[in-house]
Amino acid sequence: MLIKTILGHTPQYGSDCFFADNATLIGDIVMGNDCSIWFQAVIRGDVNAIRIGNQVNIQDGAVIHATYKTSATTIGNNVSIGHNAIVHGCTIHDNVLVGMGAIIMDDAVIESNSIIAAGAVVSKNTIVPSGSVYGGIPAKKIKDTSPELISGEIERIAKNYSLYASWFKD
């Protein structure tokens, strides 16, 4: 794992986190407990702050970044960021699933209990209301999240990634 201090900021993280051997954390990052950062994921807090809650998994190849002086990135608790997703200068509330290859642009807000479908592009300044599934390019509302989607997808994936991370810990 590469942890790099830049401009006086060193990544900080809570207890019981897993970092893959080739995960990269740079700069102004503050991360909670029980997080997992997977292979080739990059969290780059060089140009603005990145704040990550508890029980967040950032899967293989995902990129978390921000915009210089204008758009920090905030990720809440119990969030899954899918493989190769890009999360850039936006806010993601608690209990959110970001699908594989999705892109979330600057100043977008993803409210709690929402799903961003695989491959979706959430445009700058988009507000995704709580309990929504958004997909497409540009992303639009597809449907509401049902209790089955919340427990069967959002919560299940977050819990599974905590289990997977335990397999790698000494």
Domains (range + CATH), the chain? 2-168 (2.160.10.10)
Q: What is the share, in percent, of the chain residues with pLDDT greater than 70?
A: 99
Residue 165's H or E segment, with its range, is helix 156-168
What pTM, to 2 d.p., does this model score? 0.97
Residue 74's H or E segment, with its range, is strand 73-75
pLDDT one-digit tens code per residue, 23-45: 999 999 999 999 999 999 999 99
The predicted structure's pLDDT at residue 127: 98
How far is it, in rounded angstroms, from Cα 115 to Cα 142?
10
**Measured torsion, CA atoms of residues 38, 40, 41, 42, in degrees rounded to the nearest 10:** 140
